[in-house]
Structure 1
Amino acid sequence: MTLSRVPAADSSAPTTAVPELLGQVAYQMSRRLEAALGPDGPTLEQWRVLALLADGTGRPMTEIAGHVRVPPPTLTKIVDRLVDRALVYRRADEVDRRRVLVFLSEHGRRTHARFAPAVAGVAEALVDELGAQDAARLAELLERLRTLPA
């Protein structure tokens, strides 16, 4: 598995290329993750829900939507499909009965455990391709970008 090579950055090149490159890399990484999940596994969006819920904490739909990066109506469809597959379940929040929380079911936990090594393999392959130092620097830079105001 090799990354598509991007020409070395030319210091005179406009920085307007950065957003385009980020989009291309995000697309490429999504394709790698989808391949790791395979045709019988969860979709990438479903995987993101399972991975978020894997800590055993129930989450409100708004938090899940932000994590999965989809609008609330789209998340409702994703969660409905996960409920249909018995991977997650909904329950009213005990503190605020108006709020619904989503939890990973036991079947969802087993499904997460089954696919987690393949997803981790994608990350490990990326570190191998970039080298540990460059991968750490990339993570640092991406974290800085992620925390910038919208």
Structure 2
Amino acid sequence: MGKLTQAVSPRDNSKAPAFKTPPMKAPDSFYGTQAHKLRGFIQSCQLIFHNDPENFFSDRKKVLYSTFFLTGRAGKWIEPYLSNISNEYPSYLLNNWKLFETQLFTLFCDHNEVRKTEQELESGHVSLYIDDFRSLMSRIGIG
């Protein structure tokens, strides 16, 4: 009966190794001069944050980690904020990932690319496609 009890009782999983996600490559440095690389930089940072939520549980940790990879123009922009980091009340920018991300896009994205993309979306071709798509969806009861 003892062997049967051992066979039926649940296993002791405390000795099983915990699943650990493999380490991810650090984001490439962002210099602030190649606007087309900004989106990739932000996405790389966000993937790292999602992969390791135990280490990146606060906006401050996310922002400070990301600033390590800002060099060139972008590094010069963040420098004054970092020089005040030991103040009792450091800049709100260092404690707010969304604000940090917005500031990066405001300062370093290619605004001509944004305008061009907006124009393409507003062009007749895309608008007609969306209208036709919605019309077809409504015919079959979706949307």
TM-score (norm 1): 0.27
- Higher relative strand content: 1
TM-score (norm 2): 0.28
**Rg larger for:** 2
